[in-house]
Homo-oligomer: A and B are copies of this chain.
Amino acid sequence: MRVLLIGGCGFIGSHIADCLLAAGISVRVLDKRPEAFRPPLDRVEYVLGDIQDTSLLSESAENMDAIVHLASTTVPTTANLDPVADVTGNLISMLRLLEALRGRPLRKFVFLSSGGTVYGVPDCVPIPEEHALRPINSYGITKVAIENFLFMEHRQHGFQNLILRASNPYGPRQFHTGVQGIIGTHLWRVAQGQAPEVWGDGSVVRDFIHVRDLAQLCYAALVSDYTGCVNAGSGEGTAIIDLVADIQRVVAASGHGEVTPVFKPGRSIDVPRVVLDIGKARQLLGWQPRIGLTEGLEETWAWVRGQAGAT
């Protein structure tokens, strides 16, 4: 199988590339720049260019059996600042890509959606895929529209797609820009001698999935015949205050010293509690998360220290 990874040089994409290569799959990556934390992989064909360029996307998809689409021009915290750019860069780009792909013999199109934003404030946790979609920010609204258009493409043109509604992925190679990825952001701050910042009282609950578990789920999605959406989380909720305690233990055990978080006022954009029901991914795709949070934190902390040159 030959797979095109759109956005394959990013944090999640780099792990999916590893996972697919290990499974003997031929990988082409389209992204706007190379991976940030390691040199190009010998066995990957890289195409660097504008991921909003439909012609380039269409050419890159030539002779591919499947596509994994991970690219986004926005993140949740920035999308609200310019919803027109969010809709144009992500939704309109996707519609043009779908049109360009029509008639191609694609086996599968896997799209990375957002389990943390498409449901909005959930009626219940863990959240099943059938839960109403009531996104409260631009990022989630745009993801929902893309999901709906992917399903329309399936009904009208038989387009085989699988939508992964990811919760909060973390792990090695996560950027430390501070705009996305609370675990990466915390660990980078600690490595640089800064205090991790907790918004509100730390009672906000999130579902953290190790990026290699997410990559394995993406592989399962690619080889599955199912069309629809599945939640991609750990199925376990962790309060931010407990995450910080776990980070404190992991960092102390490494001999790095004490971690003291700084508490900041709560943010209105934070949904209080997001935990995804992952029963569908388990049953339909035979997948399950394998890396526990503490184990994942230890590994990620070791990687962050190595990158940051911390002792």
Chain A residues engaging chain B, CB cutoff 8 angstroms: 80, 83-84, 87-88, 91-92, 95-96, 99, 130, 132-138, 141-142, 144-145, 148-149, 151-152, 155-156, 268
- Give the docked Cα–Cα distance between A135 and B92 (Å): 18
How far is it, in angstroms, between the C-alpha of A126 and the C-alpha of B132 when the chains are bound? 18
**A148 to B, closest residue via Cβ:** B141
A132 to B147, CA, bound (A): 14
A141-B145 in contact (CB<8A): yes
A151 CB contacts on chain B under 8 angstroms:
136
CA distance A80 to B148 in the complex (A): 12
Residue of B84, B96, B137, B152 near A95 (CB, 8 A) is B84
Listed by A's residue number, 6 A-B pairs whose Cβ atoms lie within 8 Å are A83-B149, A83-B152, A84-B92, A91-B145, A135-B148, A142-B145
Whether A148 and B152, one on each chain, are in contact in the complex, defined by CB atoms closer than 8 angstroms, is no
Centre residue among A80, A91, A130 by max chain B CB count within 10 A: A91
CB neighbours of A155 from chain B (8 A)? 136, 268
Bound: A138/B138 CA distance, A: 18
A96 to B87, CA, bound (A): 12
A92–B96 contact, CB under 8 A? no
For A95, the chain B residues whose CB sits under 8 A away are 83-84, 87
A154 to chain B, nearest CB (A): 10
CB distance from A237 to the nearest CB of B (A): 23
CB neighbours (8 Å) of A148 from chain B are 134-136, 141, 144
Chain B's closest residue to A133 (CB) is B133
In the complex, chain B residues whose CB is within 8 Å of the CB of A99 = 84
- Which of A138, A142, A145: most chain B CB closer than 10 A? A145
- Least Cβ distance of A308 to chain B in Å? 36
Most buried by B among A87, A132, A148, A268: A148
B87 contacts A91, CB within 8 Å? yes
